[in-house]
Structure 1
Amino acid sequence: MTILLEVSQTGWGLFFGRFHPVLVHLPIGMLLVAFVLEALSKHRRLAILGAAVLPVLIFGAVSAVAACVAGYLLSLSGGYDDGALALHMWLGIGVAVISVLLCVLRRYTLFKKSWLAVSGVMVLLLSAAGHYGGTLTHGDDYLTAALPLGKKKTAAATLTGPPEEIKVYDQLVRPVLEQKCYGCHNEQKLKGGLRLDGIKHIQEGGENGPVLKDSLPEMSELYKRLVLSEDDDKRMPPKGKPQLNPQQVEIIYWWIAQGASPTATVKDLHKTPRIQLVLESLQPSRGGEANPFIPEAEAGAPSEKDVEALEAIGVKVMPVAAQSGYVMINAINAAAFGNREAELLLPLKSHIAWLKLSNTQVGDSALAAIAELPHLTRLHLENTAVTDAGLPALAASKSLMYLNLVGTKVTGKGLQALHQNKALREVYLYKSAVTPAEVTTLKQRMPRVKIDTGGYHMPVLATDTLVFRKEKKS
């Protein structure tokens, strides 16, 4: 036993053990086919099928034995619940033993009348072994979790009510772990001795110690392994498994950075600009009405290659809403984004709804590319080099509803070109070159557009004012 354990934990033992998921499907198919053929051969006209039963049965029995050996080698690598593993193992051994016994009975025509009864027992054991094998691999609620009746709410479905009242762990973090991590880190399957199906288990950590470090995501294994290279053996989820999207990674990072509280709500935690974008994207409706800044037409998922081209230069690409094919583009971490980089937006033009290029190097020529985005509803150009020369291109942007030109050199004369844009509803001009007189003219020419010039001043109340007087010396 000691020798076998040592072999299994080396490369060859684990290598052969990992063939178990492949081998285990052979006896399932072959033994079921043998059972069906034997049952059909009892009919006089189908008696010829009986000749195929023994070859199929032998193949199934041999593969059942091979699956048992591979399964045992795989089990020695650890990471499984002992009780569920033992039950699955003995059910599998039972299937192998009975299948070999059936080969002998069939070959020497012994107990021919009871053959179907014995094979019926084998089918029952086979079904039970398969069920518990699936439980070890995917969790005990793998089938019921997808049941339409009584299905658990997902993260997107639970984000109702005021955004500030959202429970960060229960409604944002736990659904991500449930979708992407529970399959390997649950009560039955404990990869690395780690369970993630509960805040208590997360805090306990696994075989290699804690997975959370106090408010330090970069030092926490729960986050570190999410952002490793896909070719790294320590990456989680491993290569080939469904990966977390950028929104979900940002949620995990933010939660850990803010102390990984099990009870905190959104209003209790400091919100970075990046997490504000994520939270905004998870709120597809306002006051029960559709978000007017999200296009009504449906869109498929954007190309991963086109998304990666933007993310490679530091641009964030995230869905504007849960289960939406439309995306927001944010260059908050790509200050060098300029006119040339704007061309990278065009492959995603059918998916871009929100575009935030604030504080970047874009200028007038970039607006020609931006005007080709047919579903663009929000455009942020604060503190960029955009001037009057580029604004005529935006007149043809038929879906553009929100335009932020704060801190630019645009004037009222250049903004008159936007009069032709019938979709436009909000324009922000604080610290631009537009004069008060031009603002008045614009409001007259575009009465449907809210023109915000900022620079708000609150009235000073006598009760809010303290006056300090120097006391005269007598």
Structure 2
Amino acid sequence: MINFILPLFGRFHPVLVHLPIGFLVFGVILIFLFGKKYETYSQIIQLAFLLGGISALLASLSGFLHYQNEGYTWDTVKFHLILGILTTLLSCGLWYHLKKAVLTPVHLRIKGAVLLTIIMLTGHLGGNITHGEGYFTEVLPPELQSLLGVEFSNTEPLELPYENWEEIEFYTGAIQPILDQNCISCHNPKKLKGELDLSSFKAIQKGGEEGKILVAKNFEESALFTRLVLPEDHEDHMPPKDKRQPRKEEIALIKAWIETGASDKAKLGESKITERLIEPFFKKNEKPFYPTVEISMLPLDSIAKLRDHGFFAEVIKEGSPFLSISCVNFPEFSDSDWYLLQAAKDQIVYLDFTETEITDAIVEKIAMLPNLTVLKLSKTAVSGAGFEKLVSNKNLKLLYINDTKVGFEKLGALDGHPTLEKIFAFNTSAADSGNYSQFSFHLETGNLNLPPLATDTIVY
């Protein structure tokens, strides 16, 4: 019943370890500040090292219990533990030395500096154990990490190429990346929870303290799979419920690997798995919505000037040179006001002229915006004359002409546009034509008719 006490005390190590650091650093600071007046401050300095030595002893004991009960290997913790014990001995020794000294001890500052150095080394090694050796370096750019000789593992979600996926090795290309992301933090050569290492095929075959976890072609007897599908609140469920849980598609892939022999050499194509099973892992080559060209940013005073004229002007995202321009607060904007936008013609990607006083004459001006992606002309006097000029907008994707007099025949000028994806034409004569499928773009008219259901005629 009381067997939990020692493991529980071990888990207090991350809390207890801060006490000696605070006391001892405080004592060293006092030495450097008042070393020449040691006799005056001797009692408070001695107290700092006494409390530091006692708390260092408690931290060392809890750390040893933590190592014994949490699956850490000796090679991982030995230097941290040895330095922790050394810190305890030096702290207690320094306290005893100070207590017996009548005058200021010789080389007191040097002794304090040595103790402080050992504390820093001990803390650094402890931080490596808790957060990993790359805790400080992992935030650095990959180029700088390589320059420093840092080896970093890839824990990104599994992605497979659509082309030639059959040639990828099932284990190294699919299974190990899943284990690296979900399991490796607790089951690696430096931290063997349950004496289990999941960092290599050989280690997986070896199993852990409860025996083998992998039985080829029998997923029901393979703990590598069965523990993944237990309820999250089950004591044997892995990973623990407070950890990141693998996706159901990842679990299905592990099951398929076991079913097909759990080989470290077989390729995905040889395993006779379906493309549907691995489809969720195909790389998504998503094209950015806005252009990716390099252009200069519009000066802040120029953007401020646009706002002074009445435009709602803002960058589409922080650090981007592209602008979103709206006339929501400038309804009197007309064709003659175009010159106000001339300075930003390269940066405009989103342009909203809704409910302004523009006419078809402005289309020729709009055609000169090289990066325009979204254009809104709704509730204006635009009729579609000159729409063929919009073919010059090589990045235009969305066009809004709701509540205008644009006719169906005018839209033909945009058929075959290289990038245009959709035109919104609610409440227009184009919406009344009923023939929308002939264009290369999608025409959204809002005239949606749902098929009648049998339940619509039931009287309750």
Instruction: Sort the TM-score into its range (normalised by shorter chain).
Output: 0.5 to 0.7
Partner of 1:87: 79
Deviations 1:307-333 (A, max 9, x none): xxxxxxxxxxxxxxxxxxxxxxxxxxx
- Among candidates 102, 109, 125, match of residue 118 of structure 2: 125
Kindly indicate whether residue 65 of structure 2 is the aligned counterpart of residue 73 of structure 1.
yes
- Among candidates 162, 176, 180, match of residue 182 of structure 2: 180
Partner of 1:57: 49
Partner of 1:31: 24
Q: Provide structure 2 residue ranges, at least 5 long, that are not aligned to the other structure.
A: 147-151, 292-396, 399-414, 424-433, 443-460
Deviations 1:39-68 (A, max 9, x none): 234589x99988754443333222111112
Pairwise CA distance, 1:95:
1.0
CA–CA distance in 1 between the matches of 2:162 and 2:435? 38
Deviations 1:227-248 (A, max 9, x none): 3333333222223333334444
Pick closer, same or farther for the CA change 1:243–1:444 going to 2, 3 Å.
Answer: closer
Partner of 2:222: 220
CA–CA distance in 1 between the matches of 2:97 and 2:232? 51
Pick closer, same or farther for the CA change 1:43–1:442 going to 2, 3 Å.
Answer: farther
Deviations 1:206-260 (A, max 9, x none): 1111111213334322222233333333222223333334444344333333333
Pick closer, same or farther for the CA change 1:291–1:103 going to 2, 3 Å.
Answer: same
Pairwise CA distance, 1:180:
3.0
Pairwise CA distance, 1:262:
2.0
Pick closer, same or farther for the CA change 1:217–1:296 going to 2, 3 Å.
Answer: farther
Pick closer, same or farther for the CA change 1:216–1:139 going to 2, 3 Å.
Answer: farther
Partner of 1:40: 33
CA–CA distance in 2 between the matches of 1:200 and 1:95? 39
- Among candidates 13, 19, 30, match of residue 20 of structure 1: 13
Residue 69 of structure 2 aligns to a residue whose secondary structure is coil
CA–CA distance in 1 between the matches of 2:174 and 2:66? 34
Pairwise CA distance, 1:271:
3.0
Pairwise CA distance, 1:109:
4.2
CA–CA distance in 1 between the matches of 2:40 and 2:276? 70
Pairwise CA distance, 1:442:
7.0
- Among candidates 198, 205, 208, match of residue 206 of structure 1: 208
**TM-score normalised according to structure 2 size:** 0.54
Q: Is the 2:158–2:178 Cα contact (8 Å) retained in structure 1?
A: no
Partner of 1:284: 284
CA–CA distance in 1 between the matches of 2:86 and 2:190? 21
**TM-score normalised according to structure 1 size:** 0.53
CA–CA distance in 2 between the matches of 1:167 and 1:144? 31
Q: Is the 2:35–2:108 Cα contact (8 Å) retained in structure 1?
A: no
Pairwise CA distance, 1:12:
1.9
Count of matched residue positions in the alignment of Structure 1 and Structure 2: 298
Pick closer, same or farther for the CA change 1:196–1:51 going to 2, 3 Å.
Answer: same
Pairwise CA distance, 1:145:
5.0
Q: Percent identity?
A: 32
Q: Provide structure 1 residue ranges, at least 5 long, that are not aligned to the other structure.
A: 1-5, 298-397, 400-418, 426-440, 450-474
Q: CA RMSD in A?
A: 4.0
Q: Is the 1:102–1:115 Cα contact (8 Å) retained in structure 2?
A: no
* Counterpart AA for 1:33: F
Residue 262 of structure 1 aligns to a residue whose secondary structure is coil
Superposition pairs of residues 252-401 of structure 1, within 5 angstroms: 252-272=254-274, 275-280=277-282, 283-285=283-285, 290-291=286-287
CA–CA distance in 2 between the matches of 1:48 and 1:259? 76
Kindly indicate whether residue 99 of structure 2 is the aligned counterpart of residue 97 of structure 1.
no
Pick closer, same or farther for the CA change 1:57–1:77 going to 2, 3 Å.
Answer: same
Pick the structure with greater CA Rg.
Answer: 2
Q: Is the 2:217–2:261 Cα contact (8 Å) retained in structure 1?
A: yes
Pick closer, same or farther for the CA change 1:235–1:83 going to 2, 3 Å.
Answer: same
* Counterpart AA for 1:73: L
